[in-house]
Amino acid sequence: MISIHERLEGVGLTMGGGSGLLHFAWVIPGMIVAAVLLAIFTLTIRSASAPARRSFALGIAMFFGGAFGLEMVSGAILSSYRSYGLYATFYHVEELLEAVGMVFILCAALKELSRHGRGSGFHPAVA
């Protein structure tokens, strides 16, 4: 939606991407950015409740698994087989995983809001 990966494509090409699993070269710099974000997220989520941490971890795994894992597989399919039908299938599964991952991440945040809102007069359902 915000097209960050298109902006990273040129950087990834200079880093050796462009064919096979790295057909979509943005994954190389994207993984570096993701590693930094994961480090920040890990520090942030440590104080959360266990249910929120589980939702967050599942969401992160689904989001990045789709964003990087399936993106790389679909790139390899395009690079090696030029199969646009198979690519389209992987593309849609990838987008689904990213969307569902974001739902789990948002659920984790809502669980924490709910936990911290108890007794303070704050009611997330009303706000």
Q: pLDDT per residue over 17-74, tens digit each?
A: 888 899 999 999 999 999 999 999 888 888 899 999 999 999 999 999 999 999 999 9
* Distance of alpha carbon 69 from alpha carbon 88, whole angstroms: 15
Give kind and range of the element (H or E) at residue 111. Answer: helix 84-117
Q: Rounded to a whole number, what is the distance in angstroms from the first to the last CA of the chain?
A: 27
Q: Give the pLDDT of residue 126.
A: 46
Q: Are 72 and 94 in contact (CB under 8 A)?
A: no
Answer whether residue 9 shows pLDDT above 90.
no
Q: Are 112 and 48 in contact (CB under 8 A)?
A: yes
Question: Which tens digit of pLDDT belongs to each residue from 83-116?
Answer: 888 999 999 999 999 999 999 999 999 998 888 7
Q: Are 65 and 31 in contact (CB under 8 A)?
A: no
